[in-house]
Structure 1
Amino acid sequence: MAEKLRLLLFNLATDTEDSLLGFTTQWINALAPHCEYIDVITTQAGKLELADNVRVYSTGREHGYSRARRVFIFYGLLARLLMTRRYDACFAHMNQIFALLAAPLLTLRGIRQTLWYTHRSTGRGLRWALRFSYRAVTAVESSFPIPSPKVRVLGHGVDTKYFNLPMQRPALEKPMIVHVARIMPIKHQETLIRALPGLEADAIFVGGVPDGHSTAYRDELIALADKLGVAENVHFVGDQNRASVRAYYQGTTVAVNLSPVGLFDKAPLEAMACGIPTIVTNPAFEPVLGEYKALLTIPSTDAHEALHERLKTLLALSPEERENIGWNLRKGVLQYHSLHQLARRLVHVLKTGELP
């Protein structure tokens, strides 16, 4: 195999302004120096800020094309690229459908496919995509839901140059607690609201209701805040772009993530990279938390009393003490989950099938 990869990449959304998947632009750019070229087939495209050796081809979801039409476009793009370009490997990022659709043609060409997947949900599509993939890669062992000898753990790929320590944190009238996630029951925002009474702090919920989902859970959260007498302290700011999310991280006092085991979210790692003490429920974060494990974890996603006590303790610390905790958390992110480390590990897996 050539020193630099010729890479085919499947992506869900290639758009630096996408509130959920904008980070994939940074992933692609981190892979670009290791590649002669990268050709991206994406479900939808938006604003592109990519390296010169990257080309993007969209199946047209941004134009409202039907699923059947997008499949037809996908096969047309794939066939044309396979006839005109040479590839050493294929990397499918959270796109088991493209991975499965492409498997027969890639197999005929002898192109090994590696699938990235981090979620606890399984399905027939994922199982078949895994069957036809040479390797599967994920953030931590618990973030890939199907036991398989094909799985390699890479870390989560946080852009620690972007999510970094601010020159100066803004002065706040009262402490701020930030929770970054889509508004969904599985994210357990209600636990943070239940933890608020008795705390002189504002809770900022960054993230909106996903497209096609009911607003019922958001309405329940608003009603709960009103019932508990903390409505004035609860703020829903909706989906935010990457720069705004970073500003919330850098300007907050504490961050909270209440996703269960199997959902190893990137958001708390981004908060930690910004030097913010971050409370979590998923034990997969423990290597990053280090000596602060007891202070920064709660036993379950509904443990609002434990969350209240952790928040109370953190808010009582001096700014300097919280900064020290945040600095140590950032070091953990750099060690286990930086984008630089992920790109290096992923390229090695794409070339050899094994971790460096």
Structure 2
Amino acid sequence: MDPKDPLLSHQYEAVLALADNFKKITVITGRVGEIESSPRIRIISTNWKPGHGLRNLYWLFAKAIPEIIRGDFKSVFYHMTDLQCALFSPLVRLRGRRQYLWYAHTFKSKYLVFASWWVTGIITSTIGSCPLTGKLVRPIGQAIDQEKFMPIPFNELNFDKLIHIGRFDKSKKIDFLISTAEELKKNFPDIILTIIGSPANQESRSWANDLIKNCKPRVEKGWLHFKEAIPREQFPIEMAKNGCFFHGYLGSLDKTLIESTMLRVPVITLNPEYISIFGTWSKLPISDLKDEYQAFRTLSTDEINYELARRLEVAHRDHSLRNWIEQLATLLQ
């Protein structure tokens, strides 16, 4: 529950929006930032500390168990917390309460599998964003507050400026984005690539440090830039300085893909979930990010504007926070 967290600030948005649909919401969270108070929201913090696994687990149980055993609640929503769901879903099941887990990753975690035996349902963004299938899985789109991601004027975008914002992890294929941009510079010499993000753990940090070190010549030439993670509210500001969102992750549907689409920024990606919803710039199946960018650059201004408007309409219809909250509240009530 921290609106300043670069990765998890949307959890705070979700709680605020859900509060309009319920008389009372109790939130058990690891950390609380500077948030607005609300008579409908009760927050219990376990004061999570990095590197203190046993201590964190103790306080999680100490805070959660009394609420589960004696609390007056109708349903439970586990937001991006498959481990906690695996721990507590059997107890919630014994109390006869509805419970749903939000899981939007293609990796099949052992906690997800165990929790699936107990929960009422598993909520995800798209069918392909969850490794489980069947009636238990309910796709309801992403939860993007469109009021915070207003379209950027088309004439302010520079399509030679590519940007990627997200975790600096190997799975995000940062190295692939860099090598692809270098290849594209042969035909588009003015291309600049900006990578914004920080590693999620020590393993990723070691990998990121090695990559940045190896990319020093590219940085010195001035076409490659690295920046640390930014607060989520700065995402539109950074996007407006560039022209295309460059993306290589092949897993679930990243929120940044939808946020870029709502900003009316062209998305260049191989992500199968995004392509299944919005299509490609070439209108053909693609297997190469370089080919997708080149196909985009062959389009006229009118063609690009038309496609950006079409994708924006789909994003607003299926992936807005309003739509997400309506569907989630219906399940939880």
The structure-2 alpha-carbon separation of the partners of 1:248 and 1:169, relative to structure 1 and needing over 3 Å to count, comes to farther
Q: Cα distance, 1:80 vs. partner?
A: 3.3
1:213 aligns with 2:203: yes
**Which string of whole-angstrom CA distances, capped at 9 and with x for unpartnered residues, describes residues 130-149 of structure 1?**
11111111011111112343
The structure-2 alpha-carbon separation of the partners of 1:186 and 1:214, relative to structure 1 and needing over 3 Å to count, comes to closer
Q: Cα distance, 1:48 vs. partner?
A: 2.2
* Equivalent position to 1:120, from 86, 94, 106: 106
Question: TM-score, normalised on structure 2?
Answer: 0.87
1:107 aligns with 2:93: yes
* Conservation of the 8 A alpha-carbon contact between 1:256 and 1:280: yes
1:270 aligns with 2:259: yes
- For 1:58-73, what aligned pairs fall within 5 Å after superposition? 58-62=45-49, 66-73=52-59
The structure-2 alpha-carbon separation of the partners of 1:91 and 1:26, relative to structure 1 and needing over 3 Å to count, comes to same
For 1:241, the equivalent position in structure 2 comes to 231
* Conservation of the 8 A alpha-carbon contact between 2:32 and 2:45: yes
Q: Which deviates more, 47-56 or 270-279? A: 47-56
Secondary structure, in 3 states, of the residue corresponding to 1:335? Answer: helix
1:43 aligns with 2:33: no
Q: Cα distance, 1:58 vs. partner?
A: 1.5
Aligned counterparts of 1:77 and 1:30: Cα–Cα separation in 2:
24
* Conservation of the 8 A alpha-carbon contact between 2:104 and 2:130: yes
The structure-2 alpha-carbon separation of the partners of 1:19 and 1:333, relative to structure 1 and needing over 3 Å to count, comes to same
1:153 aligns with 2:139: yes
Q: Cα distance, 1:309 vs. partner?
A: 3.9
Q: Cα distance, 1:259 vs. partner?
A: 0.8
Q: Cα distance, 1:326 vs. partner?
A: 2.4
The structure-2 alpha-carbon separation of the partners of 1:320 and 1:106, relative to structure 1 and needing over 3 Å to count, comes to same
* Equivalent position to 2:274, from 262, 279, 285: 285
Secondary structure, in 3 states, of the residue corresponding to 1:161? Answer: helix
For 1:142, the equivalent position in structure 2 comes to 128
Query: Could you list the runs of 5+ residues in structure 1 that have no partner in the other structure?
Result: 1-13, 352-356
**Which string of whole-angstrom CA distances, capped at 9 and with x for unpartnered residues, describes residues 15-71 of structure 1?**
111111111111112211111111111122223246441121111114x58322323
- For 1:277-356, what aligned pairs fall within 5 Å after superposition? 277-290=266-279, 292-294=280-282, 298-299=286-287, 303=288, 307-315=289-297, 322-351=304-333
Aligned counterparts of 2:24 and 2:284: Cα–Cα separation in 1:
42
* Conservation of the 8 A alpha-carbon contact between 2:252 and 2:273: no
Amino acid of the structure 2 residue aligned with 1:189: I
The structure-2 alpha-carbon separation of the partners of 1:156 and 1:334, relative to structure 1 and needing over 3 Å to count, comes to same
Q: Cα distance, 1:258 vs. partner?
A: 1.0
The structure-2 alpha-carbon separation of the partners of 1:60 and 1:322, relative to structure 1 and needing over 3 Å to count, comes to same
Q: Cα distance, 1:78 vs. partner?
A: 2.4
Aligned counterparts of 1:296 and 1:36: Cα–Cα separation in 2:
49
* Conservation of the 8 A alpha-carbon contact between 1:222 and 1:231: no
Secondary structure, in 3 states, of the residue corresponding to 2:30? Answer: strand
Question: TM-score, normalised on structure 1?
Answer: 0.82
Q: Cα distance, 1:320 vs. partner?
A: 6.1
Aligned counterparts of 1:149 and 1:117: Cα–Cα separation in 2:
15
The structure-2 alpha-carbon separation of the partners of 1:259 and 1:287, relative to structure 1 and needing over 3 Å to count, comes to same
* Conservation of the 8 A alpha-carbon contact between 2:261 and 2:308: yes
For 1:32, the equivalent position in structure 2 comes to 19
Aligned counterparts of 1:201 and 1:237: Cα–Cα separation in 2:
17
Q: Root-mean-square deviation (CA), in Å? A: 2.7
For 1:177, the equivalent position in structure 2 comes to 162
The structure-2 alpha-carbon separation of the partners of 1:152 and 1:312, relative to structure 1 and needing over 3 Å to count, comes to same
1:187 aligns with 2:172: yes
Q: Cα distance, 1:125 vs. partner?
A: 1.8
The structure-2 alpha-carbon separation of the partners of 1:263 and 1:83, relative to structure 1 and needing over 3 Å to count, comes to closer
Aligned counterparts of 1:135 and 1:231: Cα–Cα separation in 2:
51
Aligned counterparts of 1:216 and 1:265: Cα–Cα separation in 2:
23
Aligned length: 328
Secondary structure, in 3 states, of the residue corresponding to 2:20? Answer: helix
Secondary structure, in 3 states, of the residue corresponding to 1:41? Answer: strand
Secondary structure, in 3 states, of the residue corresponding to 1:35? Answer: coil
The structure-2 alpha-carbon separation of the partners of 1:137 and 1:274, relative to structure 1 and needing over 3 Å to count, comes to same
Identity among equivalent positions (%) equals 23
Secondary structure, in 3 states, of the residue corresponding to 2:162? Answer: strand
Aligned counterparts of 1:165 and 1:67: Cα–Cα separation in 2:
42
